[in-house]
Homo-oligomer: A and B are copies of this chain.
Amino acid sequence: MSTPEVTTVVLDLDGTLVDSVYTHVLAWHAAFQDVGVEVPARRIHRLVGMGGDRLVAAAAGQATEQALGDEVRQRHPQHLDRLFGSITPTEGALDLLEAMRTRGLDVVLASSGDRDLTERLLDVLPGSRDLLGRVVTGSDAEQSKPSGELVEVALGTADRSRAVLVGDAVWDVQSAADAGIPCLGVLTGGLAEAELRDAGAHDVVADAATLARRLVETGSLLRS
Does A70 sit at the interface, judged by CB under 8 A?
no
Does A29 sit at the interface, judged by CB under 8 A?
yes
Does A190 sit at the interface, judged by CB under 8 A?
yes
> Which B residues touch A40, using CB under 8 A?
19, 90-91, 188, 207
Number of copies: 2
Task: Report the Cα distance A188→B22, complex, angstroms.
Answer: 14
> Which B residues touch A33, using CB under 8 A?
85-86, 88
> Which B residues touch A191, using CB under 8 A?
192
Task: Report the Cα distance A45→B188, complex, angstroms.
Answer: 11
Q: Which of A26-64 contact B (CB under 8 A)?
A: 26, 29-30, 33, 38, 40-42, 45
Interface contact B45-A22, CB-CB below 8 Å: yes
Q: Please, how many residues of chain A have a CB less than 8 angstroms from a CB on the other chain?
A: 29
Does A189 sit at the interface, judged by CB under 8 A?
yes
Interface contact A26-B29, CB-CB below 8 Å: no
Interface contact A45-B190, CB-CB below 8 Å: yes
Does A187 sit at the interface, judged by CB under 8 A?
yes
A201 CB to nearest B CB, Å: 14
> Which B residues touch A42, using CB under 8 A?
19, 187-190
Interface contact A88-B195, CB-CB below 8 Å: no
Does A23 sit at the interface, judged by CB under 8 A?
yes
A156 CB to nearest B CB, Å: 32
> Which B residues touch A83, using CB under 8 A?
26
Interface contact A41-B22, CB-CB below 8 Å: yes
User: 1/0 per position for A1-36, CB-CB distance to B under 8 A?
Assistant: 000000000000000000101110110011001000
Does A194 sit at the interface, judged by CB under 8 A?
yes
User: 1/0 per position for A187-224, CB-CB distance to B under 8 A?
Assistant: 11111101100000000000100000000000000000
Task: Report the Cα distance A207→B41, complex, angstroms.
Answer: 12
A124 CB to nearest B CB, Å: 12
